[in-house]
Structure 1
Amino acid sequence: MSCFRVSVIIPALNEEASIGRTVRSARSAEDIEVIVVDGGSTDSTANEARSAGAVVVESGKGRARQMNAGAQRATGETLVFLHADTVLTEGWRGEVDTVLSTPGVSGGAFQFKLADSFAGSRFLEWGVRVRSGAFSRPYGDQALFLRKRLFCELGGYADLPIMEDYEFCRRLRRSGRLVMARASAITSGRRWQRLGVLRTTLINSVVIIGFHLGFSPARLAELYRNAK
């Protein structure tokens, strides 16, 4: 099996508490380039990222904009887009190579796992497994990965304030299958814990439906941010 140099791109904004752990999880594999794209943090995110071994790039605020900036800077043949509050687990690099070496595959993502257990957390993980596996609809917190060449051919992420991962995956599926790796990406459940699984799921569903109906992404982002 061919092995490819991998660039892990982490958009971050005021994530000093988690960024070091996230970078170290990515650097646990060999031949990995880790790029943290800082969107104007006012805390020690950049310093923590450098201390953990990442290259830090600055860009304008906005996850899509930051991920595109990281992809432009990346030297790897394969790109992994990792959220700043998410860690990769042992063996992740081999899983990326295996998935992307499969004929007809355009990209992949990792299994969704929450860092903490709370009311409804296991049901949530099960629901995400069904959505991702049966319907090939992973979200950004599952660390999407693909070849850089294809990313560039697709024009990168649309500069949207929300739903940039959802919109990109719709385009990516037209180029081939999206396959789930066996390894997990362990992500923070802070929003789910704060708002509750049912309420958060409802909010996410409203945003997705609104996006399909053509509502302004800016208004949908405001709705998402202001949810209490």
Structure 2
Amino acid sequence: MNVPERVSVIIPALNEEKTIGATLAALTALAPDEIIVVDGGSADKTREIGAQSGATVLAAVRGRARQMNRGAQEATGDVLLFLHGDTRLPPTALDEIVAALKDPRYLGGRFDIELEGEHWMLKIVGALINHRSRITKVGTGDQAIFVRREVFNRMGGFPDIPLMEDIAFCRDLKRLGGIACLRSRVITSARRWEVEGVWRTIVKMWTLKFLYLAGVSPVTLKRFYGDAR
């Protein structure tokens, strides 16, 4: 398996004008080989902010899976890093990814997460997310999932489902090989948790994951819970 050299960062975005500027500024400072923003039909200035940063801006049908797959089609790197528009990478992120994937056992991986907000529970929530994903080897989109491009292509990309595409992808990935669980932390906005309520969001997110793992269709989950992300 080839040693990766080029990292393409793909950001699926929808109405992220309040956060994507900081994400792109932090990312640009790391000088990845390529930054691609895939917009799902934003009604704000997300596309303009992306273009002003120097990123390649693409349009896609709304839906994270479709947007990420669209970005991957255009990416030229041999590593694909999927980053949410409200998430900032640690300064050493790209070097850590390349170092991890020099080990042929690892097909991809994810970072630890830190939820940026004021509520005291957020540190505990972040620690639990990190612990769970380290044990299960299944990351979530908030944790900046990365994967060798050749493996991504072999898998056919993210499954075209309205929810849980990140969980489904990581479960399939770990069946093929090793997952690198990097301990450096990405910083992600806790706006959803604070707006909806931390306890309510905890119950909602864990219920969704339980029902999905129990076999409930993501289409059904989307119908009852709406856009949980």
TM-score, normalised by the number of residues in structure 2: 0.93
Name 2:178's counterpart in structure 1: 177
| Counterpart residue identity of residue 44, structure 1 | K
Name 2:25's counterpart in structure 1: 24
Describe the SS at the equivalent of 2:142.
helix
Moved over 6 A (4+): none
Shift of 1:197: 2.9
| Counterpart residue identity of residue 112, structure 1 | I
Shift of 1:26: 2.0
| Counterpart residue identity of residue 95, structure 2 | G
Describe the SS at the equivalent of 1:27.
helix
Name 1:129's counterpart in structure 2: 130
2:154 matches 1:153: yes
Number of equivalent positions: 226
Conserved in 2, the CA contact under 8 Å of 1:26 and 1:32? no
Describe the SS at the equivalent of 1:34.
strand
Name 1:216's counterpart in structure 2: 217
* 77 and 121 in structure 1: CA distance in 2 versus 1, 3 angstrom threshold: same
Determine the C-alpha separation between the residues in 2 that align with 1:192 and 1:208: 16
Determine the C-alpha separation between the residues in 2 that align with 1:51 and 1:149: 31
Name 1:88's counterpart in structure 2: 89
Describe the SS at the equivalent of 1:20.
helix
Conserved in 2, the CA contact under 8 Å of 1:7 and 1:74? yes
5+ long unaligned stretches in structure 1 = none
Determine the C-alpha separation between the residues in 2 that align with 1:78 and 1:16: 27
2:200 matches 1:199: yes
* 39 and 116 in structure 1: CA distance in 2 versus 1, 3 angstrom threshold: same
Deviation per residue, 1:63-114 (Å, 9 max, x gap)? 0000000000000010000011111121111111111112311211111011
Determine the C-alpha separation between the residues in 2 that align with 1:199 and 1:133: 24
Shift of 1:124: 0.7
* 145 and 63 in structure 1: CA distance in 2 versus 1, 3 angstrom threshold: same
Determine the C-alpha separation between the residues in 1 that align with 2:227 and 2:114: 25
Determine the C-alpha separation between the residues in 2 that align with 1:199 and 1:187: 19
Name 1:60's counterpart in structure 2: 61
Query: Percent of pairs identical after alignment?
Result: 42
| Counterpart residue identity of residue 212, structure 1 | L
Shift of 1:134: 2.3
Shift of 1:117: 3.1
Determine the C-alpha separation between the residues in 1 that align with 2:72 and 2:60: 12
Deviation per residue, 1:161-180 (Å, 9 max, x gap)? 00000000010001112121
Name 1:49's counterpart in structure 2: 50
Conserved in 1, the CA contact under 8 Å of 2:109 and 2:182? yes
Describe the SS at the equivalent of 1:79.
strand
5+ long unaligned stretches in structure 2 = none
Deviation per residue, 1:148-199 (Å, 9 max, x gap)? 1100000100111000000000100011121212321110101111233332
